[in-house]
Structure 1
Amino acid sequence: MAVLSLAWILRRTVATVFTLLAGVALMALAAFLVATVAPDGVRDLRAYEAAPRCPAAPSGPAECRWTQEFTVSGVRLTKKRSESNRAFLTGPDGARWETFYSSNGPVLDGLGEGDRVTGTVWRGLLTEISAGGTSQETHDAPADMRARVLILALIVVPSGLLMTVATVWRLCRRRAAAEPTPGMRATLGLGFSLFFAGLFSPLLLGGRGENVWLVAAVWLPIAAVMAIMARAYATRKPDAQKPDAQMPAA
Structure 2
Amino acid sequence: MGNLSLRGMLSRRIGAAIVLLSGTGLVLIGVLMSVRIAPDGVRDLHAYEAAPRCAAAPAKPAECRWTEPFTVAGIHLTSGRNDSDRAYLTSADGTRWKTEYANRKPLIGDLEKGDRVTGTVWRGLLTEIARGGASQRTQDAPADMRARVLILALIVVPAGLLTAVAGAWRLVRSAPTTGMTATLGLGLVLFCAGLVSPVIGGEDLVGVAAVWLPVAVVSSGIAIWYTRHKREPAPA
Using structure 1 for the length normalisation, give the TM-score: 0.86
Q: How many residues align?
A: 225
- SS for the counterpart of 2:120 is strand
Query: 2:77 aligns to what?
Result: 77
Matches within 5 A, 1:7-156: 12-156=12-156
Per-residue CA deviation, residues 50-99 of structure 1 (Å, 9 max, x unaligned), is 00000100011000000011110111111211111000001111111111
Mapped to 2, the partners of 1:200 and 1:120 lie a distance apart of 33
Offset at 1:12? 2.7
- SS for the counterpart of 1:104 is coil
Of residues 185, 190, 209 in structure 2, which corresponds to 1:216? 209
Percent of aligned pairs with the same amino acid = 59
Offset at 1:122? 0.3
Query: 1:188 aligns to what?
Result: 184
Per-residue CA deviation, residues 8-47 of structure 1 (Å, 9 max, x unaligned), is xxx7333222221111111111111111111111100000
Mapped to 1, the partners of 2:178 and 2:78 lie a distance apart of 44
Per-residue CA deviation, residues 119-140 of structure 1 (Å, 9 max, x unaligned), is 0000000100111110001000
Mapped to 2, the partners of 1:27 and 1:52 lie a distance apart of 40
Offset at 1:228? 1.2
- SS for the counterpart of 2:148 is helix
5+ long unaligned stretches in structure 1? 1-10, 244-250
Mapped to 2, the partners of 1:210 and 1:204 lie a distance apart of 9
5+ long unaligned stretches in structure 2? 1-10
CA contact (8 A) 2:178 2:230 kept: no
Query: 1:248 aligns to what?
Result: none
- SS for the counterpart of 2:86 is strand
Mapped to 1, the partners of 2:230 and 2:143 lie a distance apart of 50
